[in-house]
Chains A and B, each alone.
Chain A
Amino acid sequence: MLEIKDLHVKIAEEGREILKGLSLKLPKGEVHAIMGPNGSGKSTLAYVLAGREDYEVTKGDILWNGASLLDMEPEERAAAGVFLAFQYPIEIPGVASLTFLRTALNAVRKERGEPELTTPDFMKRVKEKAGKLGIDMEMLKRPVNVGFSGGEKKRSEILQMEVLEPTLCVLDETDSGLDIDALRIVADGVNAMRAKDRAMLVITHYQRLLNYIVPDKVHVMVDGRIQKSGGPELAQQLEQSGYAEYQGKAA
């Protein structure tokens, strides 16, 4: 269970408060969506969950399986099962995707007390998952995300997620920049990972993605707080009415 309690976060450098008392409960086995307009703090929440240092938590806590994530380094969070699929995946020139995947997998397995995978086992795991995502093995010999199209980058994020087998998946605007075919492939990948011991948080601006990844719950986030929570039908309503009603409320 992910439990976010009255979370207040500001940007470390500017001191501007972005999250203003955000609370959320996400039980294992469920998929929740966070929807909100630009500037509502969605990406900040994603980064804070993963442990990015540019943000300062001034109040509140984030508990994952009862332990506070705030005390953990990003790599410790990854070992504890946290995975963030980036809105803008980073290019790493000079590091082949396969090398990167293997380094990451071995690092988290070591932290989790599991043995390193042998090369054949590793390759088998990657090939199988890459195939389903329509990722060519040749592409994985290229440096991480370098020269990848927008869609390739997002699929590469999902591949990393599938290979690392996290238990808390945070997807930040995974639908942005995807055409309808790529969206379907990515959504299939995410749906295949739904499991009873895995929690997933899907952050999106548009309702479109939620046609393919149907959430158990939808939270409306405006001005650094959850303004309303409901079932999947809430996403449909938002598509009709927009965020204006909540923005008025926040102001």
Chain B
Amino acid sequence: MEGKLPISEGSEGLAEAERPEGTRAPARKGEALGRRDMNVAVLKTKAEQALSERFAGVAEQLPGGADVLEVRRRALGRFEALGLPHRRIEAWKYTDLRNLMKDALPPILDDEVSVSAADLAAALGPLSEIDADRLVFVDGAFRPELSQLDANNDVAGSPLGAALNDKGDTAAADLLRLDGRDDDAMLALNTAYATDGVVLAVAKNTKLDRPVLVVFARAGDEPHFAAARNVVSVGDGASATLIEAHVTLPGAAKQAQTSTVTELAVGEGAAVTHVKWTVEAGNAMHLAHWLVDVGAGADYRAFQLTCGAALARNGLTVTFKGEGAKIDLSGTFLARGSQHVDTTLLVDHAVPACVSRELFKGVLEDTARGVFQGKVIVRPDAQKTDGKQMAQVLMLSPDAEFDSKPELEIYADDVVCGHGSTSADLDEGLLFYCRSRGIPEAQARALLIESFIGEAIAKVEREDVREALTLLARQWLDHAAQA
């Protein structure tokens, strides 16, 4: 059993059977010794060693004073203790980073590569049409000349790099510190190396009409590792749309490793639309994690579009902090060739009477691999919880693979929770129906795939964003997005 499920309906945590030991060829010598869960000498991988050793070389140049550096050092220590996550860590079961990240690229501080507005617009594609306040980061550093902040707006967005340097030492250290997340190696790695990102605080009761677009662009032709951190809060009763875009400029190095962590606090009664646009290219490894706290009565809507990276991992941890809040997490992932795209959710119903909805749709071609893990925890006193989850994938090739693992951990008794997962090729009956009406096969396929993804995109309420997402998906389907 190779764990491939070309067609499955309503799977419940059975997407991949555990491989018997010994059926998978060892990735490299020494793996057996290197397993963290065995109480034997821990052998560092080449990548782990590089990530650990290179820190000393850049530590003094990373933004922040002594307290910040101390936070970074401690985080690096955690990373060294934990090592890269591997398949025996449940949250990384299908994305064995220890195995997949053969080597670490050198960290980047700022390469000062020249980027024109036109290049940036081309990389953003349909997203560049959206009227938004913009903060642009190129290869890990803020670029004021490419950014536009409306002076009349209430957006208090500023680059993290500057904030780490300018704020008092303690306050700066607080910006970077991630309390209670000591067990996550990748968050620790991000803390150690983060160079820049956005610090944004939307004031109480402020309604932002224009979205805030935060762009992370790869441009330099030297392969590198870049880490970004965003720290966002939306005050009580405020509303905002935040779009995070990760794109590749023409001429950028094919190889890249990026780590992004976004911390978002949604205030009581606030309404936030949060979009992640990941349209990578080349042999990029994209590792992202959103940590979201949702206040009482708030409405949080997230959408993540992911394509183009050789390996993309989207972690999304959402914790209900107050009663009566609603979240809607949705997204679409598109992968072809040997691309690997992993969406791992953790929804924590820590308080009663909250509603969560998740809908993720994937399209997999060639030998691409999609991963969806959706864990929903309903704490003992989180009564009246209403949670629904669905992950659906179109497998356009018999060699594609989809691993789906919904997990419900319910400790309360008065709740409504459900989940489902499907993966299948395009329905022949649907295809025949379209063709019998005169629609040629290729066009019928495109129409059906687009409508499949469209169900998820429809969750985005802003029409301009929905249109940009639809256009990008169409470009991907036309293969045009693959430069």
Contacts from A to B (Cβ < 8 Å): 50-53, 73-75, 77-79, 83-84, 86, 89-90, 92-95, 100, 103-105, 107-108, 111, 143, 160, 164
Contacts and interface: CB of A to CB of B under 8 A. Distances in A.
Given A90-B429, A92-B430, A103 B451 contact: no
A75 B438 contact: yes
Contact of A108 (B429, B432, B438): B438
A75 B451 contact: no
Interface string B431-446: 0111111111101100
B448 interface: yes
Given A93-B451, A95-B447, A103 B441 contact: no
Contacts of B433: 86, 89-90, 92
Interface in B379-437: 428-430, 432-437
B452 interface: yes
Contacts of B458: 94
Contacts of B437: 78, 83, 100, 104, 107-108, 160, 164
Contacts of A95: 447-448, 451
A51 B435 CA distance: 9
B343 to A, nearest CB: 20
B477 to A, nearest CB: 14
B96 interface: no
A105 B438 CA distance: 8
Nearest to B428: A53
Nearest to B452: A94
B209 to A, nearest CB: 28
- Give the one of A52, A83, A104 with max B CB within 10 A: A104
Contacts of A107: 437-440, 443
Contacts of A104: 434, 437-439
A143 B452 CA distance: 12
Given A86-B433, A103-B443, A111 B454 contact: no
A90 B443 contact: no
B432 A74 contact: yes
A160 B443 CA distance: 18
Given A74-B432, A90-B429, A90-B433, A111 B438 contact: yes
Contacts of A83: 436-437
Interface of B: 428-430, 432-441, 443-444, 447-448, 450-452, 454-455, 458
Given A52-B432, A92-B433, A95-B451, A73 B438 contact: no
Nearest to A95: B451
A88 B446 CA distance: 23
A94 B440 contact: no
Given A78-B435, A90-B430, A92-B433, A73 B441 contact: yes
Given A74-B432, A78-B435, A92-B434, 20 more contacts: A51-B435, A51-B436, A52-B436, A53-B428, A53-B432, A74-B436, A75-B435, A75-B438, A75-B439, A75-B444, A78-B436, A78-B437, A79-B438, A83-B437, A92-B430, A92-B433, A92-B451, A104-B434, A107-B443, A164-B438
B137 to A, nearest CB: 35
Nearest to A109: B438
A133 to B, nearest CB: 17
Contacts of B430: 90, 92
B438 to A, nearest CB: 3
A127 B147 CA distance: 48
17 contacts: A50-B436, A52-B436, A53-B432, A73-B441, A75-B440, A77-B436, A78-B435, A78-B436, A93-B455, A94-B455, A94-B458, A104-B437, A104-B439, A107-B438, A107-B443, A108-B438, A143-B451
Contact of B451 (A53, A84, A94): A94
Contact of B441 (A75, A93, A94): A75
B443 A74 contact: no
Nearest to B427: A90
Contacts of A93: 451-452, 455
A89 B435 CA distance: 14
A84 B438 contact: no
Nearest to B439: A107
Contact of B439 (A51, A52, A53, A103): A103
- Give the one of B435, B436, B437, B448 with max A CB within 10 A: B437
Contacts of A89: 433
A10 B165 CA distance: 77
B471 to A, nearest CB: 16
Contacts of B447: 95, 100, 103
A74 B435 contact: yes
Given A90-B430, A92-B448, A95-B447, A73 B455 contact: no
B359 to A, nearest CB: 12
Contacts of A79: 438
Contacts of A103: 439, 443, 447
Contacts of B443: 103, 107
A93 B455 CA distance: 8
A109 B77 CA distance: 68
A81 B435 CA distance: 13
A143 B433 CA distance: 14
Given A73-B441, A103-B443, A94 B454 contact: yes
Contacts of A90: 429-430, 433
A62 to B, nearest CB: 15
A176 to B, nearest CB: 18
A108 to B, nearest CB: 4
Contact of B438 (A52, A78, A86): A78
Contacts of A92: 430, 433-434, 448, 451
A116 to B, nearest CB: 13
Contacts of B432: 50-53, 74
A105 B434 CA distance: 11
A89 B439 CA distance: 16
A63 B435 CA distance: 20
Nearest to A84: B436
A90 B451 CA distance: 15
A154 to B, nearest CB: 15
B449 to A, nearest CB: 10
Contacts of A108: 437-438
Q: Which 9 pairs, one residue from A and one from B, show the smallest C-beta to C-beta distance?
A: A94-B451, A78-B438, A108-B438, A104-B437, A74-B435, A90-B433, A94-B454, A107-B438, A95-B451
A53 B443 CA distance: 18
A81 B189 CA distance: 64
Nearest to A51: B436
A51 B450 CA distance: 25
Contacts of A100: 434, 437, 447
Contacts of A50: 432, 436
